[in-house]
Amino acid sequence: MKLPRTPSFRLDGRRALVTGAGRGIGLALAAALAEQGAEVTLAARSFEEIEAGTVAIRARGERAEAALLDVTDLAAVAAFFTERPAFHVLVNNAGTNRPMPMQEVAEADYDAVLGLNVKSAFFVAQSCVHGMMSAGVHGSLVHLSSQMGHVGGPNRSLYCASKWAVEGMSKAFALDLAAHGIRSNTIAPTFIETSMTRQFFEDLSFRTSVLERIKLGRIGQVEDLMGAVAYLASDASALVTGTSLIVDGGWTAE
């Protein structure tokens, strides 16, 4: 009897781009893809951080490069992709948040959050797809969404608006690109502890409220997302497109 074999999670011979890759989730996702054999480009506005990440990945004997890129500069985004060979994997990770009650939101807040989380993500994906299609690459787009792209939350009107938009955008991408062999999915994490979010968890009442909703009883760590991105980038998810991989410890199950 010949048994079926699990499709590989390996990414040897593939080129991957991770935006917002200088620290936290972005750096962890870049490290995960490099660990699976991809040649990873770490992109961000701060070169010092992505250069340090690149050095750390190379020190493990894996392949990485640092690329300075402001994803809000759409002309720079277009030039970035025309100057490079096609990528096989895009991780649309760059994002921001401005938590506040909806009645306090100013136009500048709206433009900052929706501009980066939705507009930039859209046009980064579009430019990447142009390269994939020109080269005949069957690729994978992975957009960092959030559990807040599936539910609401207090003081999260802008963030929820942006992440619900990302969820819908990714589904529509999947439909537009399926005929070209390009998949589009999201990863939707719960609260993840990083250098940027750690300060919020010092507020005991906030930490308690979060832990009450995360049914597995702990704050998420960047490592919790590394397997998810490797899966969605690889042949192991070859029939997966237009969906969201929710990594929330049970938050949205209730």
| Pairing relationship of beta strands 39-44 and 15-19 according to DSSP bridges | parallel
pLDDT mean across residues, the chain:
97
Environment class of 26 (CB within 10 Å of its CB; exposed 0-12, middle 13-18, buried 19+): buried
Over residues 72-89, the pLDDT tens digits come to 999 999 999 999 999 999
Q: Are 70 and 45 in contact (CB under 8 A)?
A: yes
Helix (H, G, I), strand (E, B) or coil at 17: strand
Is the pLDDT at 209 greater than 90, yes or no? yes
**If you search the block for the tokens 């720079």, which residue do you land on?**
76
Q: Write down the pLDDT at residue 167.
A: 98
Q: Write down the pLDDT at residue 200.
A: 84
The span from the CA of 144 to the CA of 166, in Å, is 8
DSSP state, residue 8: P
Q: Which of 87, 159, 191, 231 is catalytic?
A: 159
Whole-prediction pTM: 0.96
Question: Tell me, what amino acid is at 114?
Answer: L
Active site residue 159: yes
Taking residues 159-172, report their average pLDDT. 98
CATH of 15-249, one of 3.40.630.30, 3.40.50.2030, 3.40.50.720, 3.30.1490.20: 3.40.50.720
Over residues 88-122, the pLDDT tens digits come to 999 999 999 999 999 999 999 999 999 999 999 99
Is the pLDDT at 63 greater than 90, yes or no? yes
Q: Write down the pLDDT at residue 197.
A: 85
**If you search the block for the tokens 């819908």, which residue do you land on?**
168
Over residues 2-17, the pLDDT tens digits come to 999 999 999 999 999 9
Domain ranges of the chain: 15-249
Taking residues 228-242, report their average pLDDT. 98
